[in-house]
Chains A and B, each alone.
Chain A
């Protein structure tokens, strides 16, 4: 086969696409991946990873400010925004290089440019705006029996709230500020909005978060969201819920926002605005419409094996719907390729996809919220355990936090887990594994959790659901 003929071509090298490419190569497929801008996609370059780098800087800064409480002395904690951003970019670059290395190691061909599916089995790649990495193939016609769309998503733009890359930001600009804005309006209180709120507030910005729904972090369990809101408010973040930004008036170095709450309209001026009202799938300009691939509200419609309605065309990750999370995309990428191979992988269970918000403190969850469990008419048992009663949390100086678990009262099935507090994004996986293994409360109770760790709160929450908590 020539350099234009492949078994599988994947369009998009984000976490879904590049993981799918590696799995395809492992399974013996001749594989190519098309990318137009950054290997690793948004996640590595403008999403998950660089924001974690920034948040780490903010967290260390916050800890520095509390040095005295730890018996340490520090003259005057300060920060250099340029250096923080530079660190964040350097980390992205390192991982971006890593993806290039992985492609080479797995003998996946990288094709650089804008891809368009011209017919089932045919991909035409046009020139890219950015320079290709070494050894990448260029524009041209390529063929593969299987084409996987993994083009991800981009920030949603609402009328009247159009970003301008200067005063009105999306996460792209928010990640590389030239200086710290004095005030910041964040529209939307999902994971992206809340993470940037934490970051900027920790450094001293006056942050206001506007959410159209009554609850911040609308996808999370109400109790956890309420707890988080109180905690963030204590740090100085202002929240306006049931509120809507109807107009943005730009000044020279500021924006005046019109905000409607409960029939009342108010205007307020901010130095910068971050629009974080969700993301939309990148389904355009791929030729999907001409091929008759069904899309719904900008998302490709797929079956359990990630097949679109057109034979030989598949979609994975954000472009085929939520939750728009890197780990969901990766999992779909693997499933999709294994299904092509005929391995009949078990379908993804959406209730077992964990969600993490890397705010300060963090939020992590998996499964049903208490509200959803009740709505499903489940007879439930709820257990809670506060970090306040966890020795390790107190020693860390991170005693704000709560672990909440929801069991089906009849079967003992763990329906959901919702955590708030330091490092809970690292803890949630224990419950994810438990759910996947179908453990009941009995196995969780009889598992030994190491002392002293934050994870003991996970054990205690399970015990608490059955009235057996030991340290509460």
Chain B
């Protein structure tokens, strides 16, 4: 018996995951708990674990395609399936002979396909279809048949993206990791895993609505034209509509590309993180009424304190200091403590009421390859600077390795975003929903300032607080940033 392996739900909001690696090959023995594959979500790469002992078996889903949660990506067989390998290999071609010209095997392969069919009449096409039948109801239509329906439309509509055509071709070219096993054909085409009617797809394209987030009211959750219509009019037919399709684009893609001469650009496909960043920040700017408050902080005392604290840090056995505080660590701590002193600002908006927090969880924006992520330091107000500093370092390292768990970057009330190390004097940041503020930190630099009627040089740092006006009014925001400034300028108060 083959037990399906499905795309796991790695966070509450996860709808699709991108299969980036099979860590086991088809036929490999696996133990319960073994990682068999790696999946990239919007923020992290996570392992898919086996729930049973057995042998990894195909068909295995294609790499680097977005697959919906619950989609079968492979199987765990009780026994190594040797006889199955040959007919299964023929399956993708058999199910797609006309759908994907690029995937049609070379004549010799076609001949062997016929041979396989002759020997095991039940094996080739029905094998793949039978597998599809095992898919749970919600994801069932995603398998072979659908892209066969979709692909013939390509020459007519003429607007299938290059990437989907390319990925459609994948079934004919098994990936190195899955030499012995073919990929699941239908899983390869990105539009295919959203079951939708032709009219729904056309309506969605015309309206600039993404099908991915829509709730399908048709059989087996199929998205029908009425669902797209409902989404367009803001009816609650969508799951994460705001994230999936925040606003209609100004122009459809074709229209935008038409403005630039062909050959003058390269089309770089979006990865999951880029799409999520885009969706969340559009959501932030559209749904959160932002305003900004800027103050200059004298960080002379902070630098002195930092120097003293780091200088006297004890060394561990390897001779590495037990802490090495950055200016940013002080800022995080200052913001966390300030929020405790201004409790009305230590809250976020929900329609039902303010969520006012007891402790202050502070996000830290970390630039990573291809995007950014904001791991959250929990209860930053209550942590010592050294603990906080080491935690931030660990989170940042895990973020760069894309190993953060969703629980490590979700939640929080405010965030610190620091571009000082890039020499930026001051800037404003967009609030990271559902948080209610974000502190943008500029460079610490010597500036001439007037003091007691004298022009003196002081090390100054400009910070800008963006506030969600639904939660933080102007005076409250000013109170909060004053408290931040006071703590930065007199950091011993953080120890109180």
Contacts and interface: CB of A to CB of B under 8 A. Distances in A.
B225 A438 contact: yes
Contacts of A252: none
A440 interface: yes
A446 B153 contact: yes
A339 interface: no
Nearest to B219: A346
A411 B225 contact: yes
Given A411-B225, A413-B225, A443-B152, A438 B157 contact: no
Interface of A: 346, 411-413, 437-440, 442-443, 445-447
A218 B155 CA distance: 41
Contact of B197 (A346, A438, A445, A447): A438
B200 interface: yes
A438 B224 contact: yes
B199 interface: yes
Contacts of A412: 198-199, 202
B157 A439 contact: no
Nearest to B223: A438
8 contacts: A411-B202, A411-B225, A412-B199, A413-B199, A439-B198, A440-B199, A442-B198, A443-B152
B203 interface: yes
Contacts of A437: 197-198
A346 B222 CA distance: 13
B156 interface: yes
Nearest to A434: B198
A438 B200 contact: yes
B149 interface: yes
Contacts, number: 41
Interface of B: 149, 152-153, 155-157, 197-200, 202-203, 206, 217-219, 224-225
A318 B219 CA distance: 27
Nearest to B98: A448
Contacts of A442: 153, 156-157, 198
A438 B157 CA distance: 16
Contacts of A413: 199, 225
A443 B157 CA distance: 10
A439, A443, A447, most chain B CB atoms within 10 A: A443
A123 B431 CA distance: 67
A440 B202 CA distance: 9
B246 to A, nearest CB: 24
A438 B156 contact: no
A443 B218 CA distance: 19
A440 B199 CA distance: 6
A446 B197 contact: no
Those 5 A-B pairs whose CB atoms lie nearest each other, nearest first? A438-B197, A438-B199, A442-B156, A446-B152, A440-B198
A101 B228 CA distance: 46
A411 B199 contact: yes
Contacts of B202: 411-412, 440
Contacts of B217: 346
A413 B229 CA distance: 14
A447 B149 CA distance: 10
Contacts of B199: 411-413, 438-440
Nearest to A414: B199
A87 B174 CA distance: 63
Given A411-B225, A413-B225, A446 B200 contact: no
A147 B401 CA distance: 65
Contacts of B157: 442
A443 B203 contact: no
Contact of B156 (A346, A411, A445): A445
Given A411-B199, A411-B203, A443 B149 contact: yes
A443 B200 contact: no
Interface centre among B152, B199, B218 (most CB of A within 10 A): B199
B225 A446 contact: no
A446 B199 CA distance: 15
B226 to A, nearest CB: 9
Contacts of A443: 149, 152-153, 198
B58 to A, nearest CB: 30
A438 B201 CA distance: 10
A413 B225 CA distance: 10
A442 B202 CA distance: 10
Contacts of A438: 197-200, 224-225
